[in-house]
Amino acid sequence: EAGVTQSPTHLIKTRGQQATLRCSPISGHTSVYWYQQALGLGLQFLLWYDEGEERNRGNFPPRFSGRQFPNYSSELNVNALELEDSALYLCASSLLGDEQFFGPGTRLTVL
């Protein structure tokens, strides 16, 4: 069974640009979570989607947004990139409220 996949692996952008990160959950999972991990720090909860709806979001500005598609895959968009947005972005999937499984992450660098 395929695990959670994320693309791209690496992404380099400049300040002010927009970044789009993608996540495909484990087959059968309806929930997708996004987390940000800045260098050397812990994971910060960003967004939670389930059945196509945003269920909760963490303490991040509105320029962090996303969506979940009918096939349960998800997209994270970061607008007006700032240098401090450079981080590893991790996606996880689960059945609603159950154990989360993580993808390999997308490393975003903002120059």
Q: Tell me which residues touch other proteins (CB under 8 A).
A: 33, 35, 37, 41-45, 48, 55-56, 58, 88, 90, 92, 97-102, 104-105, 107
Task: Closer to other proteins by CB, 81 or 92: give it.
Answer: 92
H/E element, 31: strand 31-37
CB 10 within 8 A of CB 109: yes
Task: Closer to other proteins by CB, 15 or 100: give it.
Answer: 100
Gap between the Cα atoms of 82 and 54, Å rounded = 24
Beta strands 10-13; 19-24: pairing state: unpaired
Task: Closer to other proteins by CB, 16 or 52: give it.
Answer: 52
Shortest distance in whole angstroms from residue 51 CB to other proteins: 15
Shortest distance in whole angstroms from residue 70 CB to other proteins: 23
DSSP 29: -
